[in-house]
Structure 1
Amino acid sequence: MKTDNLLKIPNWLKEEYPFSPVVHTTATGARLSYLDEGEGEGDHAVLMLHGNPTWSFYYRNLVKELSPHRRCIVPDHIGMGLSDKPAHYDYKLATRIADVVSLIDQLQLKRIDLVVHDWGGAIGFGVAEQRPNIIGRIVIMNTAAFTSMHIPRRIALCRLPVLGPLIVRGGNGFAGPAIWMAMRRKPLTKTESRGYLLPYDSWANRVAVSSFVQDIPMNDSHPSWSTLKRVEEGIGKFKNHATLVIWGGQDFCFNDYFHQEWLERLPNAEDLYLEDAGHYVLEDASNDVVPRIREHLLKG
């Protein structure tokens, strides 16, 4: 597979994102950039999985907080962040799960504490379904890992043939608005906004932003429906795991319906509901969220 050079971290971002990404080559030959930061036992790591349209930048403050105590593994999904962005790739849920499974297998991880947000939920619980014996503590933030007919109109618009790619890839009408729509307590700084948008600066580099939107399965004819159903059926395996659900109540995408679904599926989970926080809850309510995740993960 022909790939361009991986995106480099510009000097203006290094204070916010002071990390040294490494590269994993997937089974398809695509290069997946990931963070491998921190102390602790080498085969016990916190795996943080981002969604769309973010990248490992979303977890930067949590990595800074946890890395003195835990090894932190934070991949950029193929097509996202600093990873390769091939024009032709199987940008489907099953492949994204396989990419992460191959990474954790290569790293020979024996225990994973799982932290997920947005698409990271379906991907992360897909990984957990395939490697259930290594899953430890879990943190769930504004995400889903189950089938649902609930989809905001603005996201449905981005799924339309022809028009959808024009909006998402041509007009940056998904990643661009997200930097203000996903925040409710406080606006992002100029540097933070530039950081989130850095990887998605052209039609070509927004290929996976669009593909993620197209990969939302709304019925059983969708190619990712059966994968998501398997993920959904596996959630119950983790009902006795130490789980923390953190939810921003002002989410334009994952509203309270999804929050309640998680609490019903994982009735033993702790719940931190932040009524005034947005979809980027880790960013928007960092002063509340980062210490709570640290406390939860360092118990085990």
Structure 2
Amino acid sequence: MSHLRASDLPPDVRLEYPYAGNLFEQPDGTVMHYLDEGNGPVVLMLHGNPTWSFYYRNLVNELVRSGFRCIVPDHIGCGLSDQPQEYDYTFKRRIDDVERLVDHLGISSFNLVVHDWGGAIGCGLAGRRAEALDKLVLLNTAAYHSKRIPLRIALVKCPLVGPFMIRGLNAFAGPAANMSVVQPLSKSVRRGFLWPYRSWSKRVAVWNFVKDIPLWDSHPSYATLTEVEKGLEHLREKPIQLVWGGKDFCFNDHFLQRWQEIFPHAETRYHKHCGHYILEDGGLKVWQEIRGFLQI
């Protein structure tokens, strides 16, 4: 299966994302793209929907300069990974994919930075391997059951409407590049976020992520989320940082308060004027907050 390459990115996007990248072939032959930058303690960063490793580019630079090794995969169907039309696009498979990458790289201990869907995926991995987790940074995300969902997402989750809207009209990734920030993205950064999702076929994972949100116990991924939520108990004694944008249209303060109930000892860094893409709106201040926490 052909896959996108970093060299295929538009020149202005390459300036924002200058990495060579690496490829890992999953057992079924599907190729996962990932960044492996720097040397030192490992920081595994997991993106959500509809982003990709591009979202972490500035944090990677900040941490590499500070002596960390940053591993940042693109989930299958996202970014520069393969975008198969027939694939097990499920929550459990996402966790399995990342776990196989960790094994492939021989990583025995790691820090974890997660955002959006990456939170549930990363906490799923951490729950399986709590002994390997050093520190956890949560960025506007959830990894527990909740029926709170924005109406605009609920509408495009419908099987009859969703594929047409998300894959045909780009009514998820496109609007997200505007709605997820308070300060508008530059043209090159916006292009970077959207470039992997330029057509119906390339938006297959964007739709399947939305489709896989397990709101009800009849959903195929509901049991997986139940397992992940229970696994949070194994992380209670870990150093945890919550870095939160107060203007998030999706993961609002309700989700932050739930995290604070689950992890009452967590360090909270609240940015009331930042949106869902906290690493974009928060800029250097947020990158340095995360670096400082990981360096302690």
Q: TM-score, normalised by structure 1?
A: 0.96
Letter in 2 for 1:104: V
Q: Secondary structure at the match of 1:14?
A: helix
Taking the TM superposition and a 5 Å limit, the aligned residue runs for 1:57-136 are: 57-68=54-65, 69-136=67-134
In 1, the alpha carbon distance for the partners of 2:114 and 2:25 equals 22
Which ranges in structure 2 are unaligned for 5 or more consecutive residues? none
Q: Is this contact kept in 1: 2:135–2:240, CA < 8 A?
A: yes
In 1, the alpha carbon distance for the partners of 2:109 and 2:3 equals 32
**Which of the residues 202, 205, 208 maps onto 1:208?**
205
- Which residue of structure 2 lines up, in the alignment, with residue 237 of structure 1? 234
In 2, the alpha carbon distance for the partners of 1:286 and 1:223 equals 37
Shift of 1:288: 2.1
Q: Is this contact kept in 1: 2:45–2:113, CA < 8 A?
A: yes
Shift of 1:54: 0.3
In 2, the alpha carbon distance for the partners of 1:271 and 1:290 equals 14
Cα-Cα RMSD: 0.9
Q: Is this contact kept in 1: 2:49–2:117, CA < 8 A?
A: yes
Q: Alpha-carbon deviations, 1:225-272, whole Å to 9, x = none?
A: 000000000112111111110111111111111100101001110001
In 2, the alpha carbon distance for the partners of 1:252 and 1:32 equals 30
In 1, the alpha carbon distance for the partners of 2:73 and 2:235 equals 23
- Which residue of structure 2 lines up, in the alignment, with residue 23 of structure 1? 23
1:224 aligns with 2:221: yes
Structure 1 outlier segments of 4+, above 6 Å: none
Shift of 1:194: 0.3
Q: Secondary structure at the match of 1:235?
A: helix
Shift of 1:26: 1.3
1:291 aligns with 2:288: yes
55-64 or 12-21, which deviates more: 12-21
- Which residue of structure 2 lines up, in the alignment, with residue 255 of structure 1? 252
In 2, the alpha carbon distance for the partners of 1:148 and 1:54 equals 22
In 1, the alpha carbon distance for the partners of 2:138 and 2:211 equals 23
Shift of 1:15: 1.4
1:159 aligns with 2:160: no
In 2, the alpha carbon distance for the partners of 1:230 and 1:86 equals 27
In 2, the alpha carbon distance for the partners of 1:189 and 1:11 equals 14
**Number of residue pairs aligned between Structure 1 and Structure 2:** 293
